[in-house]
Structure 1
Amino acid sequence: MHGPTLVNWLLALLTATAGAYCLTRLRRSPCTTAPREGRHHHLSPTRESDAAEALMGLGMAAMAVTGATVPATVWAWLFGLPAAAFLVAALSAPAGRTHRLHHAISALAMTYTALAMTASPTASPSGHHHGVALGAPLLTGALLLYFGGYSLWSGTRLLHTSAGTLALGTAGLPRACRLTMGIGMFAMLLTM
Structure 2
Amino acid sequence: MHHGALSGFPGWLLAALCAAVGAYCLLRVRTGPRAERAEMTGDALMGFGMAVMAPPSLMAVLPGWSGAVFGIVFGAVGLAALTFPRPLHQRLHHSVGALAMVYMAFAMPTGGHGSGTAHGAHMAGLGVPVLTGALLAYFAVYVLYTGATLVAAGPADVPGAVPRSGVLLSRACRVAMAVAMLTMLAAL
TM-score under structure 1 length normalisation? 0.76
Q: Which amino acid aligns with 2:146?
A: S
**2:67–2:105 Cα contact (<8 Å) kept:** yes
Q: CA deviation at 1:67?
A: 2.3
**2:68–2:105 Cα contact (<8 Å) kept:** no
Q: Which runs of 5+ in 2 are unaligned?
A: 110-118, 159-164
2:70 counterpart residue number: 75
SS at match of 1:166: coil
Number of residues of Structure 1 aligned to a counterpart in Structure 2:
162
User: Is it true that 1:18 corresponds to 2:14 in the alignment?
Assistant: no
2:32 counterpart residue number: 29
2:186 counterpart residue number: 190
Deviates more, 1:76-85 or 1:177-186: 76-85
**1:116–1:135 Cα contact (<8 Å) kept:** no
SS at match of 1:154: helix
Q: Write the deviation string for residues 44-67 of structure 1: whole angstroms up to 9, x where unpaired.
A: 2x2122111111111100111332
Assess, with a 3 A threshold, how the Cα gap between structure 1 residues 135 and 178 changes in structure 2: closer, same or farther.
farther
- Using the aligned pairs only, state the percent identity: 43
**2:42–2:81 Cα contact (<8 Å) kept:** no
1:5 counterpart residue number: 8
Equivalent in 173, 177, 180 of residue 173 of structure 2 = 177
Assess, with a 3 A threshold, how the Cα gap between structure 1 residues 76 and 156 changes in structure 2: closer, same or farther.
same
User: Is it true that 1:63 corresponds to 2:58 in the alignment?
Assistant: no
Q: Write the deviation string for residues 145-187 of structure 1: whole angstroms up to 9, x where unpaired.
A: 00011011111122121xxx23478433111101111101111
Q: Which amino acid aligns with 2:96?
A: I
CA distance in 1, matches of 2:19, 2:125: 27
**1:19–1:57 Cα contact (<8 Å) kept:** yes
1:117 counterpart residue number: 108
1:102 counterpart residue number: 93
Name the structure where helix makes up a greater proportion of residues. 2
**1:154–1:175 Cα contact (<8 Å) kept:** yes
